[in-house]
């Protein structure tokens, strides 16, 4: 039972990674690509790790997997935010794609 659940988690995680890959290739500018890369990527890696944990099922391995998951959750938003800030500051944002620009100095 846990094996099948783990296999399902592995396939779902791989599908989310694939979504991230498609988004990174197809989306038009840096912010869109960062968005496409980060969100399904993090959930995809977490699902893959859950699949690994469900198939290994020993406390030592689960501890290591939790460590990896915590690192992912702590570092992925920071890296994405730094990429987004660098993109905005160096003017690589396509303004025709923005609805509102909340960082602009308009008053």
Partner 1 sequence: MKVALATVLTVLLSVTALLALARMYRGPSLLDRVIAADVLLNTMAGAVGAEAAVNRHATTLPVLVVLSLLGFVGAVALVRFAVREEP
* Residue pair 54/2 in contact by the 8 Å Cβ criterion: yes
Q: What is the DSSP letter of 90?
A: T
Q: Which of 1, 2, 45, 105 binds partner 1 (CB under 8 A)?
A: 45
Query: For residue 99, what are its two tokens?
Result: 């609805």
How far from 49 is each of 36, 66, 106, CA to CA, in Å? Answer: 20, 8, 45
Q: Which of 2, 5, 67, 97 binds partner 1 (CB under 8 A)?
A: 67
CB of 37 to partner 1, least distance (A): 5
Query: For residue 106, what are its two tokens?
Result: 């308009």
Nearer to partner 1, 7 or 104 (CB): 7
Query: For residue 94, what are its two tokens?
Result: 């396509």
Judged by the rule CB under 8 A, the positions of this chain that interact with partner 1 are: 6-7, 10-11, 13-15, 17-18, 20-22, 24-25, 30, 33-34, 37, 41, 44-45, 48-49, 51-52, 55-56, 58, 60-61, 64-65, 67-68, 71-72, 75-76, 78-79, 82-83, 86-87, 89-90, 92
């Amino acid at each position: 039972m846990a094996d099948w659940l783990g296999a399902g988690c592995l396939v779902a995680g791989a599908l989310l990674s694939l979504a991230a890959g498609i988004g990174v290739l197809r989306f038009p500018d840096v912010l869109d690509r960062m968005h496409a890369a980060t969100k399904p990527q993090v959930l995809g890696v977490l699902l893959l790790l859950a699949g690994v944990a469900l198939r290994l099922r020993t406390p030592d391995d689960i501890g290591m997997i939790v460590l990896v998951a915590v690192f992912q959750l702590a570092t992925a938003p920071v890296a994405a935010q730094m990429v987004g800030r660098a993109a905005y500051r160096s003017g690589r944002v396509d303004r025709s794609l923005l609805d509102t620009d909340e960082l602009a100095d308009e008053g």
